[in-house]
Structure formats: structure tokens, C-alpha cells
Chain A
Amino acid sequence: MGRSRLIKDKWQIVETAFTLIEAEGLENLSARKLAKNLGISTMTLYNYVPNMAAIEKEVVLMGFSKLYRRILDEVENRRGELGQNGIRSFCRISAWEKIAFAENYSEIYTLMFDPKRSALKKDLELMPFYNYYNKISMVLKADDKKRESITKSISLFDYIINGIIIERSKERKKNYTEETSELIEYALECLF
């Protein structure tokens, strides 16, 4: 048997795992398959990462990084829309970017928000991503009561968007209809 090829760094493993999960689903990801795709042995793989759960965490982190970068880019592009009723506009932009992300990376999205993986939500490094909207509302220039109310509304809105995305992914529906758009607008109107 030839010597195992060395990989550049741990990040190469995470990127390969990310691609494999998106293409074949998390249930089909194994250490052996990942190692094979990287051109290394399973033993070498475990020199870089302690276990498969650690890889899952890194993949989730990469997913969040891509998702929130996407939202930030769009918010920056459409900053002019945040002038009046800015929070509502921000939430609208976030919702559609989240939907677009979930369309591109449906398997990764499912992994990120899978309710069965509650341990990920308690991970201190990932916590800010799961509490993203709470964290960014901390800086709102409003009195405590108002800020608390807006934070709750943003969180509730995010639950609704996640629900819509997960539901549609279960139904394997690809395109979002006018009905979805109406639901989002209705939620925005009720909450903000």
C-alpha cells in the first residue's frame, strides 16, 4: 500500500466534507468516504480531527459563515432601504437571503438547523450564530423595553422563516411561490 498523501490543513477536510454532505447528504458521510475523497487514510484523517462530530461542527460553522456573509452583503447593497421601518426591511432581506441559501445548500441548511442536533446549539463557538438576531439587536438604539420587544419580534420572525424553509425542504419543493411571499409580508406586518 502506498503512503498516505498529506493534506494541507484541517480546513481542506472541512471543505471536502461540506461538498460531500451537500452532494450526498449527511447520512452518507463516513470517515472512510471522506478520507478516500481527500486521498488519505482514515488513520491520517483522525490525526487532524478527533472525530466525525468535530467535522460536523466545522461544516456547520462554515455554513453559518456563508449564510451571514450573504445577508451582510445584501444588507450593505441595499442600505438605502433601511431608512424608514429599517428593522422590517432588514428582516425581509434576511429572510430572502436565508431562503436563497437554503435553496443552494439544502443539506447543509438541514444540518445547521436540525432540531435533533441540540448539542450544536449549546456549543459556545456556535451559539452566536444560533442567537444571531439576539446578538445584533443588542446594539439597537432604543430603551430596554423597546429593544426587548424588537428582539422578540425578530426572533419570532426568524422561527417562522426557518419553519417555512424546513417544511418546503421536506416537501422537496424547489421554487418559492407567491404564497410564500405573501406569508412573509404578513408576518412582517404583524410583527413590526
Chain B
Amino acid sequence: MKKNVKISFLEYLGFEESKELNDKWLQTTRMFGIKNSDLKKAMDEMLPKYWKMETPGVKDMLRAYLMELMDLTRVNENNPDSIKSVYGVVPSISTSYYAVRNAAGESAYVGYPYLIISTVFSSVLFMTNPFIGQAENDAGISCGCKHCGLNKTRIGLNCKSVIRNPDVVWSWGHTCDEAPKTDEFIEANCNSNWKYIVTRLPHDTHFGEKDDEIEDRVEYVAASIKDGIAEIGKIIGVNVKDEYIWQAIKQEKNFMKKIDRLNSLVSMVGRADITGNEISLVSQPIHIPFSTGLEHIELALDKMIGHLESICKIEKEGKKRPKVGCYFVPFSVPWVAKMFEDKGVDLFFSTTLSMTDKQMENIEADNPYKQIATDWLKMPLAVNGLNEVDMICQKIRRYKPDAMVFGLFSFDRWQGAHQKLMVNMVEKETGVPHFYIEGDIWDGKNFNSSNLETRIDSLCDFLKMNKIISEIEI
């Protein structure tokens, strides 16, 4: 008998067969309108083209994301009283969510549905995210306006009632302040019972300050996080004790150290079969909590590390392919990394998903809220421009890329400009050639391969020329 495509897809990703899983997956495909033809195309063409499916850890990683998507059925099928839901939005410090998750156990879904949906559509199924279009058609969010695709996805999902509205959304603001604005829009205009909490940074950091070293700021952020956790606990009926927060902090530190190990190993090997797409997708839980927990993605990460360690042991000193670090997250546009790769250049670490030494320091604070606040204020997404420049320089010195690529953030006028201002500063400080590419990592309509091909061609030519020049005897 011919096998059902939906089940074959699970098998292809290495899931162990179970009726419960199959049912969950069928329900997920119905929820999101995923057709057999979409899955067949992903299996036969797109996944083998853009992911190194045979590399240890890669299938495990894709499975972790699919499990996360499937976990949303738990929210939809259950009575709102039996499963509570807390949705998060980037950027944020995921420790806070993990603390709530640890405390709530199975009684709550605590995750990042919008980013997971967006990621699975773009990077696993290679489908156009339909919810962006729905936000444009049903809620009047104009196509050309500078608006993050993720927030459009949130509006689109709400318009179509695809997933159950959360008991509470936890937003964090940031320079763009787009997430809280989106919450306000949904609450005020979409006739939704939309409860949200905003934990904003003080918005008073000065250029060059070390945000985490200013006691007042740390105290303020710690108090805001404490309020946020208490409020969320009240809404979902859970007491988030300190022990759950410490547990989340330890998990996160451990995960960060592993990501650093992964990046260091990739920087050492001559030809890595784990590059920008794999590294960024497996690193994403630094910023977003997984409702299914860290263990599945951590298993993928451990396998990748083990694989690279075994390559390092047998690899002799030899020619290294040029490696390029980036600011954006390659998994959102997997074909970009592939385009580089086909031209003999590998993308690797992303500055937004890699760590400085300071971020990996051991726990120092005497209370967990202060520790989360300090960790949040050490993250590149939460600090002022010059502080971030300094962080990026540290990462460049640590992983030694041949060049850096910035850009693909033109979806947001603030985030886009922020990056543009940093490019020349980092190049001057590190002496590593930097390049900038216009584009939108969330919305393919604003951006496609033909626009990019000449740019990537030229950049790869630059690197080839650099190689020749570096070998000239002076």
C-alpha cells in the first residue's frame, strides 16, 4: 500500500512511528493548511538541497522544530482552563520564559508560536508564510510599510484564528518597539481579548555605556522582570519560585557554552558540513523558549559538536574554505547560505546568536531576577550601538572569520539603521572586511535570489582576491 505523504514526511525526518504522533501531525497540517504537495516538495527537493540532512544532528534539529509546531495542537485542542498559554515575542531573554515553563510543567504552553510558525514555514517546509499576506489582506497592514514579518504573522494568525489567543503575551519592546505596538493594535482593533505584558528596557542607555555594569539599570530591569513573572504567574495560576528561575538560568548558561563550542569548532575545521543555516537554527533557543523544552534541540547540538570534534581529530592542517560571519540569522533565508556555499564560501556564526565571554560568565548575582537582568543587558539585542560594536568585535576576534556580512534587516527602519551605523565601526576596529546587503529576511516578496546573486558573487570574488593578496610576499 502506498504510504501517506504526511507520515512519510515524519519518517524522513527520523521520527519514531507512533499513532499519537501521527494524529498530532495530521492535526497540525490541517491547522496550518499544509498540503501533501508541500510536504512532498520539501522532502524530495528543498530539504536535501538546503540542509545537510545526513550530517549528525541536522534531522534531530528539524524534528525539534516540528515537535514545537505540533505542540501548538495542545493549546488548540484543550480547554483554555486546562492548558494555559504564554506566548513570547523576540527579542527577549528566554530564561524568563523557561522559568515560567519549569514552574508550570504540563499545565501551560510557554513558547514562541509566531517565530516557530515562521521558521517552520520558511526553513523546514519552504513555503511562503501565508499569515503575512493575511495581515495585509485582512487587517490592512500595507505590503510596503517597514514592518517586521513576525509581527505581521501575529496579526495574520489572529485574523484567521489559527491558534488560540494566548492567556497572555509577554513583549519586550526594543528600539523598534514593534511587538508592544502590535499587541496594542490587536487589542484595540481586532476585537480580541488580548492580554499582554510589556517588560521594557529603560530606553535611556548612552552610546558606549556597558549596560550591564550600571547598577541602577540592572536593578530597574530586575524589578521589571520580577513584576512580569509575578503577573504571568497570577494569570496562569502558577507560583514561579526562585528555584525554577535558577534552574532556567543554569540551563541557558549551559546551552550558551555549547553554542560557543559549536562556533569555535566550525572556525577550526577546513570544510565544515555544519554552516550558517545549521548553526543559526540550532542556536535560536538562546533567544526563544521551546515549549517542548531544550532537551530535543540540545540533543541535536550535542551530535553536531561530537561530529565536528571527530573531524578536528582527523583533519590535517590544510586549506580552509573562506568563512563569513553575519549579523542576520541565515536559517530564515536558507538559500542565501547555499548561494555562498555554491560559490566556495561558508557562512557561519551569527553575531545575534553567539556569545561574548561576559555572557558565558558564571552566575554572580544574589537573586535570580538580578541575574536575568544582567544576562539580558549583556545580550547584543538589548544594548546601545557602541556596546554592541564592542561585543561583535570580541566575537570576530574569537571566531576569526575572513569577512562579515551585515544587512537583510531593511524590514525595520530602526533595526536596519542600527546595523548600518555599526558596519564601518566594526570593520575599522577589527580589520576584517565588512559587507552590507539590503534585503528582508522575513518576507520573500521584498527580496529574492536574483536581487542577491550579483551581490553575493561580488562578495565571494572579493574573498578570492583577498586570499591571493594575503599570499603576496611583502
Contact = CB atoms under 8 A, between A and B. Distances in A.
A61 B450 contact: no
B437 interface: yes
A176 interface: no
A65 B420 contact: no
A82 B468 contact: yes
B458 A136 contact: no
Interface residues of B, number: 33
B472 A86 contact: yes
A141 B469 CA distance: 9
A137 to B, nearest CB: 7
Contacts of A136: 433, 462, 465-466, 469
A10 interface: yes
Contacts of B420: 124
* Main SS at interface, chain B: helix
Interface string A52-73: 0000000001101100110110
A87 B474 contact: yes
A128 B462 contact: yes
Interface in A46-98: 61-62, 64-65, 68-69, 71-72, 75-76, 79, 82-84, 86-87, 90
A11 B454 CA distance: 9
Contacts of B470: 139-141
A135 B433 contact: yes
Contact of B431 (A62, A83, A87, A138): A138
A182 interface: no
29 contacts: A11-B450, A61-B454, A62-B454, A65-B461, A69-B457, A69-B461, A75-B468, A76-B464, A82-B471, A86-B472, A87-B472, A87-B474, A125-B436, A125-B438, A125-B455, A128-B433, A128-B459, A128-B462, A132-B462, A135-B433, A135-B462, A135-B466, A136-B462, A136-B466, A137-B469, A138-B432, A138-B433, A139-B469, A141-B472
Interface of A: 8-11, 61-62, 64-65, 68-69, 71-72, 75-76, 79, 82-84, 86-87, 90, 124-125, 127-129, 132, 135-142, 146, 150
Interface of B: 407, 420, 423-424, 431-438, 448, 450-451, 453-455, 457-459, 461-462, 464-466, 468-474
